[in-house]
Amino acid sequence: MPAGFKNKKSKTKAFFTPFIDSFEITNKFQEYFTEIKDPRVERTRYHLLTEIITIAILAVIAGAEGWEDIEEYGLNKQEWLKTFLELPFGIPSPDTFRRVFERINPKEFEQCFRHWVQSLIEKLGVEVVAIDGKTHRGSYDRESQLKALHTVSAWSSEHRLVLGQTKVSDKSNEITAIPALLEMLDISGCIITIDAMGTQKSIAQKIIAADSDYILSLKDNHPTLHQQVKNWFEIAQSNGFKGVDVSMSQRIEKAKSLWGRFPSTKLFKTGHHRIENRQVYTVPVSQLSPLHEQDLWAGLTTVVMVVRSIQHWNQTTQEVQFYITSLASDANKIGSAIRQHWGIENSVHWTLDVTFGEDECRIRSLHSPQNFALLRRIALNALERETSFHRSIRQKSRRAAMNDRYMLSVLAAAFSNSDPLP
Quick one: pLDDT band at residue 122, thresholds 50, 70, 90?
Answer: low
Residue 258, pLDDT > 50, answer no
pLDDT of residue 174: 79
* pLDDT tens profile 127-146: 899 998 887 665 555 565 55
End-to-end CA distance of the chain: 39
Mean pLDDT, the chain, rounded, equals 84
CB neighbours (10 Å) of residue 3?
A: 6
Q: Which one of 38-52, 242-256, 266-280 scores highest in mean pLDDT?
A: 38-52
**H helix runs in 172-289, sequence order:** 174-184, 201-209, 223-238, 255-261, 266-271
Domain boundaries of the chain, sorted by first residue: 18-109+365-415
Tell me whether strands 128-136 and 191-194 are parallel, antiparallel or unpaired: parallel
pLDDT at 259 over 60: no
Residue 356 has pLDDT above 60, yes or no: yes
pLDDT at residue 1, rounded to an integer: 43
**Among residues 349, 368, 371, which one has the least CA distance to residue 33?**
371
**pLDDT surpasses 90 at 14:** no
Residue 113, judged by CB atoms within 10 A of its CB (0-12, 13-18, 19+), counts as: buried
Q: What distance lies between CA 350 and its chain's CA centroid?
A: 10
CB 361 within 8 A of CB 66: yes
- CA dist., res. 177 & res. 133, Å (int): 9
Q: pLDDT higher for 221 or 259?
A: 221
Amino acid present at 110: E
Assess contact for 218 and 195: CB atoms under 8 A. no
Give pLDDT, residue 6.
44
Strand intervals (E) in 239-295? 247-254, 275-284
Q: Shortest CA distance to 392 belongs to which of 295, 267, 255, 285?
A: 267
* Confidence band, pLDDT 50/70/90 cuts, at residue 20: low
Radius of gyration of the chain (CA): 24
pLDDT, residue 422, reads 40
Spatial distance between the Cα atoms of 306 and 323, rounded to a whole number of angstroms: 8
Chain segment 268-278, per-residue pLDDT in tens:
344 456 788 99
User: Do residues 326 and 204 touch, judged by C-beta distance below 8 A?
Assistant: yes
- Look at residue 19 in the predicted model and tell me its pLDDT: 54
Q: Which residues contact 416 (CB under 8 A, 6 or more apart)?
A: 25, 28
Side chain identity, residue 366: L
At 114, phi and psi to the nearest 5? -65, -40
Q: What is the mean pLDDT of residues 276-297?
A: 95
| Residue 398 pLDDT exceeds 70 | yes
Tell me the per-residue pLDDT of 170-211, one tens digit each, with 9 for 90 and over. Answer: 656 778 889 989 998 888 899 999 999 899 999 999 999 999
Identify the band that residue 344 occupies on the pLDDT scale cut at 50, 70 and 90: confident
Give dist(CA 156, CA 131) in Å, integer.
Answer: 9
Q: Indicate the burial class of 63 (C-beta count within 10 angstroms; 0-12, 13-18, 19 or more).
A: middle
Q: What is the 3-state secondary structure of 138-167?
A: HHCECCCCECCEEEEEEEECCCCEEEEEEE
Give ∠ CA 149-359-404 in degrees, rounded to 5: 110
HSE, side-chain direction, 13 A CA sphere, residue 405:
8
Of all helices (H) and strands (E), which one includes residue 49? Answer: helix 49-61
The strands making up 275-284's β-sheet, listed across from edge to edge, are: 161-167, 149-156, 128-136, 191-194, 213-218, 316-325, 302-311, 275-284, 247-254
Rounded CA-CA distance 148/137 in Å is: 6
